Amino acid sequence: MKRSSLIIVFLCFTTLLFSQQKDSKKLERQAREDVREGNKLYNQLKFEEAEIAYKKALSKNPNYPKASYNLGNTIYQQNRGKEAVSQFELVEKTVKDKMSKAEAYHNMGNAFMKEKQYDKAVNAFKNSLRNNSKDDETRYNLAMAQELLKNQQQNKDNKDNKDNKDNKDDKNKDQKDKEGGDQDKKNDKNEDKDKGKDKEDDKGDQQKNDQNQDKKDEQKDQKPRPNQLSPEQMKQLLEAMNNEENKTQKKLNAQKAQGKKIKQEKDW
């Protein structure tokens, strides 16, 4: 009974394994058909449709290097360089033979060229030649990548030099502006100083004018005013008063001698 059970289990396992192998063969066959369809579309320049066909093939057989490689090519033809690089890197890691690795690196280099990453393109083409040193096309692409890298570096150096020159010019301009500002401040200061000096001169002139005016006023004060007698007039008046007093005194003496009072009247 146990022996019969073991035989039954073995038969079931064998049947299941055979069925899986049969299904796997079927999927591989379908994957090859999808790749052939993708190649047909690729040759017709229908890259989007070709991409779909290759992805179908990989969904049925993920370890299908030709489908993976051709998918990278269709992505590259659609100007999606970064995605193409990732796809070719995947191919390089999965393939075993050197020729396939060389082709993966070669196309990887082309994808880097399209992204203008010339330094990485140079490395990719060198890796391709390490796996297939007889590929003249790869050697030509390597020389082109090296020349483009050289030009890129020269342009970068020229740009850096220009930026440095512009920065230097800006600094010189700032320095000149600062010096000009300082000179303007100095001129303003001198101008203020001159204004202050002019103000002081004006003040001095005003003081002189005031002094002259005071002197004129004093001279005016020395001149006789309408109700004020001059010294000469005062002298004459005093002499007249003295004369009148003498006359009065003579009269008084005469009246006193006669015994009559006289009324004294002021004559001023």
Instruction: Indicate the domain borders of the chain.
Output: 14-78, 98-171
pLDDT in tens, 119-148: 999 999 999 999 999 999 999 999 999 999
Measured from the Cβ of residue 86, the count of other Cβ atoms closer than 10 Å reads 14
The CATH class, in words, for 14-78 is: mainly alpha
Given pLDDT bands bounded at 50, 70 and 90, which one contains residue 99?
very high
Instruction: Give me the pLDDT at residue 23, please.
Output: 75
Measured from the Cβ of residue 148, the count of other Cβ atoms closer than 10 Å reads 16
- Which of 68, 77, 65, 90 lies closest to 41 in space, CA to CA? 77
Measured from the Cβ of residue 82, the count of other Cβ atoms closer than 10 Å reads 13
Given pLDDT bands bounded at 50, 70 and 90, which one contains residue 54?
very high
Given pLDDT bands bounded at 50, 70 and 90, which one contains residue 66?
very high
Q: Tokens 């692409």 — which residue?
A: 141
Given pLDDT bands bounded at 50, 70 and 90, which one contains residue 12?
low
Instruction: Give me the pLDDT at residue 153, please.
Output: 93
pLDDT in tens, 102-126: 999 999 999 999 999 999 999 999 9
44-66 in b/e burial notation, b at 16+ Cβ within 10 A?
Answer: eeebeebbbbbebbbebbeebbb
Q: What does the alpha-carbon distance between residue 202 and residue 225 come to, in Å, rounded to a whole number?
A: 34
For residue 165, is pLDDT > 50? Answer: yes
The answer to whether the 14-78 and 98-171 domains have the same CATH topology is: yes
Across 218-234, average pLDDT:
49
Pick the more confident residue, 159 or 203.
Answer: 159
- Which of 152, 141, 87 lies closest to 116 in space, CA to CA? 152
Q: What would the DSSP string read from start to end of 148-209?
A: HHHHHHHHHHHHHHHHHHHHHHHHHHHHHHHHHHHHHHHHHHHHHHHHHHHHHHHHHHHHHH
Instruction: Give me the pLDDT at residue 18, please.
Output: 54
For residue 268, is pLDDT > 50? Answer: no
Instruction: Give me the pLDDT at residue 161, please.
Output: 79
Burial label, 27 (beta-carbon count in 10 A; 0-12, 13-18, 19+): middle
- CA-CA distances (angstroms) from residue 167 to 77, 158, 164, 179? 42, 14, 5, 18
Instruction: Name the average pLDDT for the chain.
Output: 76
What letter does residue 223 receive in the DSSP assignment?
A: S
pLDDT in tens, 13-47: 565 555 556 678 889 999 999 999 999 999 999 99
pTM: 0.56
Match domain 98-171 to its CATH number in 3.30.1520.10, 1.25.40.10, 3.30.70.270, 3.40.50.10860.
Answer: 1.25.40.10
Instruction: Give me the pLDDT at residue 159, please.
Output: 81
Burial label, 83 (beta-carbon count in 10 A; 0-12, 13-18, 19+): middle
Q: What does the alpha-carbon distance between residue 19 and residue 32 come to, in Å, rounded to a whole number?
A: 20
Instruction: Give me the pLDDT at residue 104, please.
Output: 96
258-267 in b/e burial notation, b at 16+ Cβ within 10 A?
Answer: eeeeeeeeee
Across 59-63, average pLDDT:
94
